[in-house]
Amino acid sequence: MSSTVPASDPHALPPGYDEGAEARKVAFGAFVGTALEWYDFFLYGTAASLVFNRLYFTGDDALVATMAAFATFAVGFLARPVGAVIFGRMGDKVGRKKTLIITVVMIGLVTALIGVLPTYASIGVAAPVLLTALRLLQGIAVGGEWGGAVTLAVEHAPADKRGRYAAMPQIGSPIGTLLSSGAFMAVGQLSDKDFDSWGWRLPFLAALPLLLIAVWLRARVEESPLFEKMLEEDELAQTPVKSVFKDATPELLIGAGSTLLGVGGFYLVTTFMISYGTTVLELPKSLLLQATLLAAAVEIGVLILFGRLTERFGAGPVTLFGGLASALVAYPVFRMVDTKEPWLVILGIVIGIAFLSIPYAASGVLLTSLFPAQLRYSGVALAANIAAIVSGFVPLVATAILAAAGKQSWAPALLLVVLALITALSGWLAMRRRDHSADETALARQAA
């Protein structure tokens, strides 16, 4: 590469830009926003297992009602690629910061509306219809949230610390889990009558004060310096979404595969496992929620550790390792839960979440490295949300194959193995692709 960089280079950071200080502020803002995002999304998953299958769907067969509730859970994932297209284009044309404020406001408002939605007993079939519609809107907003948060965090990060800053939005996932599971544990102390009547609504309504905090933090961060430079030099892509599909299809598929375990596997070991444990094994919901809480706390440490390790070994190798390790522990995880021994149930869920979080820690760095800055918001959002289509159906598919296998846990364990191997393969393939973020780092250093 030439040692001289043209003054018009769109990837050069502006003179005097303080990478470290701004990166920390942006990473924290991204963390809080994604924590709200995942709080709201996980809240729905938990409610689908404990509430929606009874209050919004009717039927004599509890398993069928649960599958109907999980179907609406999946609808939110089907909507996410739509959000990726809408907000990905906006993020690459209008700006990362403005787009992220819009997405987080949508997520918070929709979640609060779910908290005031009448049940089937009050308004009949309109209840599940409206619930599905709100889930669609939630999915659209989430489709543009994570990709933008990761993109903004990475583009602000110092060159040698992208792994740790890219992991900050990922930490929003276990924090969201802790908040949502903790909220349901708190209201779960109510009587069954009070819980069904009004208690379950409180965690959804709590999204409003969390939304105010997230908007305040995001309003304080600066726009991506790379985006501002591209805007100044008129280097923005005219049709970023079309360009991603036309010029970066392999990267799109690799990116989607690399995130499959971190999202789909997570819902298998949390949302599906809660349903499996309560309906098939007849375990107390409090035990499964406690296991999820402890697993989320452990996940924070895993994300921090392996986010740092991507700086040393690269995102591809970390993703490959995490996928293979998760495949190895998949069956033991389910066998531990099948024992019904409380400490083994908790240990199994903790181990499952810990291992599948390894490639999730590398997702931000891996995906942003696959796409050039002009296409990054769109590329990252599309890749993550193509995987989300599959991930959203994981609890539903797991429930179906569990029934087909005579309620034997080897079936969902096998599904976890498949997801893990797809992610491992994607990590291996990513190691052989061009690292666009490294190119931009070199250019920025030469321009300094």
Closest to 76 in 3D by CA, of 419, 401, 400, 391: 391
Rounded Cα distance between 206 and 186, Å, is: 13
Dihedral through CA 436, CA 440, CA 443, CA 448, nearest 10?
-160
Q: Are 105 and 215 in contact (CB under 8 A)?
A: yes
Reported as a single tens digit per residue, the pLDDT across 74-115 is 777 788 889 888 998 888 888 888 898 999 899 889 999 999
CATH number of 19-447: 1.20.1250.20
Q: What are the domain boundaries of the chain? A: 19-447
For residue 49 the two structure tokens come to 């297992």
Q: Which residue has the tokens 């995490």?
A: 322
- Output the CA–CA distances (angstroms, integers) from residue 359 to 38, 282, 362, 388, in the order listed: 18, 32, 5, 15
Closest to 29 in 3D by CA, of 86, 126, 97: 97
Q: Please give the pLDDT value at position 242.
A: 87
Closest to 79 in 3D by CA, of 138, 30, 125: 138
Task: Assign 440 a pLDDT band (cuts: 50, 70, 90).
Answer: low
Rounded Cα distance between 313 and 7, Å, is: 33
Whether 235 shows a pLDDT value over 70: the answer reads no
Reported as a single tens digit per residue, the pLDDT across 28-46 is 877 887 888 788 877 887 7
Helices (H), 115-161: 120-123, 126-143, 145-156
Q: Rounded to two decimals, what is the model's pTM?
A: 0.80
For residue 60 the two structure tokens come to 């004599």
